[in-house]
């Protein structure tokens, strides 16, 4: 949860179908926003000996989209913060927002000039997750492919 009064910028309108920002800056479901947000659970990995990534992976397409959104904000101090918070019908919900803060224990990864920040409490839930951006007729918005998500609800809003 982002502390009250903290300066941050939500990108809910870009993370999926039926998402917007409410009066207190939280992502909420609506019927007006465009896009599609998916939570996927991939099949088991082929090799258990391969070392799993320890942070979130941002695809080139997603990095370009995040960079464009930051440029629209007109600030060069913003980073993409990805967090996991309690919520939704499956127990956990993703949060993506722009943030200029640096917190103790943050895991920071740079992708071609785009910094992705994960707080230390969310890091275990997001290790190895891949964030992509789709802009097709059948899907638009950021997608998260998370190998740690065992189950997700039918609407794709949350996972466990």
Q: Other CB atoms closer than 10 Å to residue 35's CB: what's the count?
A: 19
* Cα-Cα end-to-end distance for the chain: 18
Q: CA-CA distance, 38 to 17, in Å (whole number)?
A: 9
Domains of the chain: 36-41+52-145 (2.60.300.12)
What's the confidence (pLDDT) of residue 115? 94
Q: Which residue has the higher pLDDT, 121 or 33?
A: 121
Burial of 10-34, coded b for 16+ CB within 10 Å and e otherwise, reads: bbbbbbbbbbebeeeebbeeeeebe
pLDDT by residue (tens digit) across 93-118?
889 999 999 899 999 999 989 999 99
Q: Is this model's pTM higher than 0.75 or not?
A: no
Q: CA-CA distance, 112 to 82, in Å (whole number)?
A: 17
- Spatial contact of 103 and 89, defined as CB atoms under 8 Å apart: no
């Amino acid at each position: 949860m982002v502390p009250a009064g903290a300066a941050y910028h939500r990108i809910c309108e870009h993370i999926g179908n039926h998402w917007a920002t409410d009066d207190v800056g939280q992502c909420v479901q609506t019927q007006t926003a465009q896009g599609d947000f998916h939570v996927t659970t991939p099949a088991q990995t082929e090799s258990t000996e391969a070392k799993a990534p320890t942070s979130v992976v941002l695809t080139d397409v997603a990095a370009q989209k995040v960079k464009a959104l930051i440029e629209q904000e007109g600030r060069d101090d913003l980073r993409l913060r990805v967090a996991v918070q309690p919520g939704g019908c499956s127990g956990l919900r993703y949060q993506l927002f722009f943030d200029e803060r640096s917190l103790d224990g943050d895991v920071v990864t740079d992708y071609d000039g785009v910094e992705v920040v994960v707080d230390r409490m969310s890091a275990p839930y997001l290790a190895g997750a891949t964030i992509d951006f789709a802009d097709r007729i059948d899907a638009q918005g950021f997608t998260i492919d998370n190998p740690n998500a065992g189950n997700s609800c039918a609407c794709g809003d949350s996972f466990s």
